[in-house]
Chain A
Amino acid sequence: MKQKEKTNEKPDSQKLEAELYECMNNWKRTQADFENYKKGESSRRQDVELRAKKDILQRLLPVLDSLERALQVSYDSNKDMSLGLSQIQSQLRSALALCGIQEIAPAEGESFNPALHEAIGEVEGVHAPPGTIVRVAEKGYRYSESVIRPARVLVAQYKEE
């Protein structure tokens, strides 16, 4: 850009105009790229936030499952223990609810829906319409539209055609 261009010829105005146009164009493009990047950034941020939340939850959910299992056992000999456990459970549940986590707890007899449920097995010879949920083995959880973990269910068997 320094000495080399100092020739005797007059600069060609058309050439300069073309250069200017290209520079302006590139500059606008870069500005636009940056604007678009900024716009995309907020959705990328949300994605990252969601993923981070999901990661933590996926590690925590087994604890909630264990509590649930612990409560299914009868504590005839120790009612206070059972009460304490169920209080811990509701503590944890309300904390999750406050974070926007919803349970997926299908009722028995509800139809199996792979968008929300995962079949872990089939049950033969039950008096239930085929394809309906016979037992919920583990509750599922969702956060807004996203399923963090489907409910694990046992499904009434379809008859072989």
Chain B
Amino acid sequence: MGKILGIDLGTTFSAMAVMEGGESRIIENKEGSRTTPSVAALAKNGEILVGVQARRQQVTNPKFTISVAKRLIGRRFSDKEIQNTKRFLSYEIKEAQDGGVEVKMGEKWYKPAEISAMVLRKLKADAEDKLGEKIDEAIITVPAYFDDGQRKATKVAGEIAGFEVKRVINEPTAAALAYGLNKKKDEKIVVYDFGGGTFDISILEVGEDTIEVKATGGDTHLGGEDFDQKIMDWLAEQYKKDEGIDLAKDPLATQRLKEAAERAKIELSSSMETEVNLPFITSDSSGPKHLLYKLTRSQLENMVREYIDKSLDLVRQTLKEGKLEAKDIDEIVLVGGQTRMPAIQEGVKALFGKEANKSINPDEVVAIGAAIQGGILRGDVRDILLLDVTPLSLGIETLGGVNTVLIAKNTTIPASKSQVFSTAADNQTSVDVHVVQGERSMVQDNKSLGRFILDGIPPSPRGIPQVEVTFDIDANGILSVTAKDRASGKSQSIRIEGSTGMSEEEVERLKREAETHAEEDKKKQELVETRNVADSLLYTAEKSLRDAGEKIAEDIRKEVREKIEALKSVKDKGTIEELKKAVEDLSQATQKVGSALHENHAKENPKQDSEAGEENQEAEYREKKEGEEGENK
């Protein structure tokens, strides 16, 4: 069985998605874009162009470039909306024999559904090309207010394009599906859809198996493009005032202004201020002219306040028509690129008193939901073997009481992971493996699952033994922890049942605790880690002093001894800053020992210089290994 393509057939742009590996994913078109302009054209050379290519030739061919077919599809010519739309169209339309609408492209008259079919056919071909398989089935979305005739015409468009249209579903329903809101029985959902050219508001109610549309509202001639236009007008007006030049007369300048306006709008969604910088925008007798204006977020908000307020008024009106109040609404979903604007998000939040769902790309959420509907129809969801995940991280205690995580939370099980640790003291012959569960940095704040001792490690200096610790969780959540000394081959293990078997409340509590303590835990961990570094440095410094003996000058030895004492005095009670400083000082002093030894050696054995180099390297290697692998207590 092939895949089902989920299609958001939009007024200005369309998008498509499929289910893959249990997830809905947007498919890029042939040009590499995630959205495709819903435009078709008959080029001067007789070729039919669809998508971005049709749009690129629009100015040279306005009469045969058909955009916004969605505003015409399935409507009667006498419809008020058609008469309203007619004045904005650059192409000819007429009443068809059946009372519907026909558009002229070249010598031929087409039904709007045939134009939409051209867009759908391109999407089909591009998706097939991208996925490398034939796609015959589709789910197509329509606005919730579409009547039966408009839905039928959309279905016909899909069929002309070669699809078997499995369902025509509502855009707001698809958006709700994308957020998995179909599982929330009896909840009421508001979908606030601010697109490029239209604003739609829908109120949905989730029933037993269905999502019912309770009310719809909006404005078919209000969209993000109006926001761009406002910015553009403002820029042109400012420029005219400052320079006395009307940029609207120059097509390239207009194009650049338009792009800059949209870019400024987008930037102001993430920053408070932006710069519209268009050098060499035009020229006059005095030479080239540049445009440079600052635009702040609040300036933009003031410019478009009327649009935002209008949209919110329409929300209130729709609530009223559905005999509902804002407090009755359980979930809000934001759709359409314009909803990225913070002022809109804040306005919606203030109206409903709660955060809206906005984590999925608002330009793609409808197509994603349509593909999910396809997945539900195909039974894709049933197919998947339900795999458990570890609800909390699993790790062991390392030097200083730090929780070193081996298997992170949310890892799909069965899973296994190994890591090599070493000893913290010279001649340490046993290690204590303490298994803990939880998200906190320090062992004491987590849950202890068990511990065991691995002994019989051959005596060697600290950092030399290699103890491999392996965590293995099977599909039933049973955790086995094994520690193995690589030198002696001795190993020891523990089996812990029910490592995932915590109650949900307990898991939630632990996660919450980890979040609230994240900052202080991080500080604690940093302190312990710095202390560990200090320990290891003290060890190396003392050792190098002993080894060097009388070979180096007394003043260097004295300095190192002083720094050692200084570090010891702050190691267990100083602040992290004092500790870091002392570590830095000692490490510099110790380096002098190394270079003094090296110089001596070079003087005594001028020819064997390379040997000394090797000795140094070995010492370095050891140090690095300790740092990399951590140390076991």
- Give chain A's interface residues, CB within 8 Å of chain B: 26, 30, 33, 37, 40, 47, 50-51, 54, 66, 69-70, 72-73, 112, 114-115, 117-122, 130-131, 137-138, 146-147, 150, 152, 154-155, 157-158
Contacts and interface: CB of A to CB of B under 8 A. Distances in A.
B59 A152 contact: no
B489 interface: no
B326 interface: no
A70 B43 CA distance: 35
A122 B59 contact: yes
A40 B253 CA distance: 43
Contacts of A54: 32
Contacts of B57: 112, 114, 118-119
B56 A118 contact: yes
A119 B59 contact: yes
Nearest to B22: A33
Given A117-B56, A119-B59, A37 B252 contact: no
A158 B60 CA distance: 8
Interface stretch (B199-207, B280-288, B393-401): B280-288
Nearest to A47: B28
Contacts of A73: 280, 283, 287-288
Question: How big is chain B's contact interface, by range?
Answer: 20 to 34
B522 to A, nearest CB: 30
Contact of A114 (B28, B54, B280, B385): B54
A71 B280 CA distance: 10
A119 B58 contact: yes
A154 B31 contact: no
A70 B280 contact: yes
6 contacts: A114-B54, A114-B57, A121-B252, A130-B44, A137-B251, A137-B255
Contacts of B2: none
Contacts of A130: 44
B16 to A, nearest CB: 15
Nearest to A130: B44
B612 to A, nearest CB: 44
B493 interface: no
Contact of B252 (A115, A117, A120, A150): A120
A120 B32 CA distance: 22
Contacts of A37: 21
Contacts of B32: 47, 50-51, 54, 146
Interface in B35-54: 43-45, 49, 53-54
A137 B250 CA distance: 11
Given A73-B283, A131-B44, A147-B31, A138 B252 contact: yes
A133 to B, nearest CB: 11
Given A69-B280, A70-B279, 5 more contacts: A33-B21, A119-B59, A120-B255, A130-B44, A155-B60
Contact of A119 (B49, B56, B283, B385): B56
A154 B49 contact: no
Contacts of A155: 60
Contacts of A112: 57, 60
Contacts of B255: 120, 137, 152
A50 B31 CA distance: 12
Contact of B60 (A40, A122, A138, A150): A122
Contacts of B49: 114
A70 B280 CA distance: 7
B251 A121 contact: yes
B60 A131 contact: yes
A61 to B, nearest CB: 11
A91 B385 CA distance: 56
Contacts of B21: 33, 37
Given A54-B32, A70-B280, A152-B255, A114 B59 contact: no
A150 B28 CA distance: 18
A52 B339 CA distance: 24
Contacts of A120: 59, 251-252, 255
A103 to B, nearest CB: 17
Nearest to A121: B251
Nearest to A34: B21
B31 A66 contact: no
A158 B56 contact: no
B59 A121 contact: yes
Contacts of A147: 31
A146 B255 CA distance: 22
B240 to A, nearest CB: 20
A88 B252 CA distance: 24
Nearest to B131: A40
A118 B45 CA distance: 16
A45 to B, nearest CB: 14
B144 to A, nearest CB: 32
A137 B252 contact: yes
Nearest to A70: B280
Contacts of B58: 119
A158 B44 contact: yes
B287 A119 contact: no
A41 B60 CA distance: 41
